[in-house]
């Protein structure tokens, strides 16, 4: 998963300055951060709708759209994917420590 998302992150960063006629990333980027953020919101809502309809193929497709648009937004903010993944790792470490503390017999 890390490799796929890192590859996509790299492609998105390369495509931001491409010809908008040939690139969706360049087109969306040119519309500005508010539009990119709006797309993230739309894809999140579509993911929720698919989930609540128990539409599993739909949820897969909408989740892919959501992750893609989130990466476009992070690139626009110049936040690396690693910064987000490191935060998740940090939380996992924190909750791992908390779980261990709750089981003193381990």
Ligand X SMILES: N=c1c2ncn([C@@H]3O[C@H](COP(=O)(O)OP(=O)(O)OP(=O)(O)O)[C@@H](O)[C@H]3O)c2ncn1[C@@H]1O[C@H](COP(=O)(O)O)[C@@H](O)[C@H]1O
**What residue ranges bind ligand X (CB under 6 A)?**
11, 15, 23-26, 39, 65, 68
Buried b (16+ CB within 10 A) or exposed e, 28-64: bbeeeeeebbebbeebbebbeebeeeeeeeebeebbe
Q: Of the two residues 34 and 92, which places its CB atom closer to ligand X in the complex?
A: 34
CB of 89 to ligand X, least distance (A): 24
Q: Of the two residues 63 and 80, which places its CB atom closer to ligand X in the complex?
A: 63
* Cα(69)–Cα(38) distance, integer angstroms: 10
CB of 92 to ligand X, least distance (A): 27
CB of 16 to ligand X, least distance (A): 8
C-beta separation of 75 from 12 below 8 A: yes
Q: Of the two residues 25 and 59, which places its CB atom closer to ligand X in the complex?
A: 25
CB of 36 to ligand X, least distance (A): 9
For the record, the structure tokens of 62 come out as 């909408």
Look up tokens 């989930």; give the residue. Answer: 51
Q: Of the two residues 11 and 77, which places its CB atom closer to ligand X in the complex?
A: 11
């Amino acid at each position: 998963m890390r490799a796929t998302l890192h590859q996509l992150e790299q492609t998105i960063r390369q495509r931001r300055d491409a010809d908008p006629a040939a690139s969706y990333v360049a087109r969306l980027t040119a519309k500005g951060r508010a539009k990119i953020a709006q797309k993230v919101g739309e894809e999140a809502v579509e993911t929720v709708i698919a989930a609540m309809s128990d539409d599993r193929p739909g949820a897969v497709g909408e989740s892919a759209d959501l992750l893609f648009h989130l990466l476009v937004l992070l690139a626009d903010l110049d936040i690396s994917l690693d910064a987000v993944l490191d935060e998740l790792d940090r939380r996992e470490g924190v909750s791992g420590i908390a779980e261990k503390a709750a089981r003193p017999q381990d």
